[in-house]
Amino acid sequence: MSGLRSGQLAEAVGVNPQTLRYYERRGLLNEPERTLGGHRLYPPETVTMLRGVKAAQRLGFTLDEIAVLLARAGLRDRARDKLGEIETRIVELTAVADMLRAVVDAGCDDLEVCATVPECPLPLG
């Protein structure tokens, strides 16, 4: 039997061994073979697959979405959808950042006091 033990795989990918077991429970990672002593042995190509999972997470994909991507093709379409979601969030977060800048610039230190002055930038209505 050859392969990577949990600790070796976890180190190669940059996760902890508990993450590997969690991925197994979620169905992202097939249950590996075991040694006679019961240690998990993962095929070497698991490193590449898990690096792909981690990259997809960094791009904003959830584990459920990643499971779908692993089960079938469609990365391009899902990436296009995810890009739309991210662009929408950027617009929303930009509006929040602009409002926070206005609060800082207005010198608002107390929410109740700020709400009583017409110069208050917060939408309190």
pLDDT of residue 124: 65
**pLDDT single digits (tens) 71-93:** 887 889 999 999 999 999 999 99
Average pLDDT value for the chain: 91
Strands 33-34 and 40-41: antiparallel
* Torsion sign (Cα): 45, 21, 32, 35: positive
pTM over 0.85: no
With a cut of 90, say whether residue 110 has pLDDT above it. Answer: no
pLDDT at 121: 85
Checking if the pLDDT of 125 tops 80, the result is no
Beta bridge partners of 41: 33
* 8-33 mean pLDDT: 93
Higher pLDDT, 48 or 113: 48
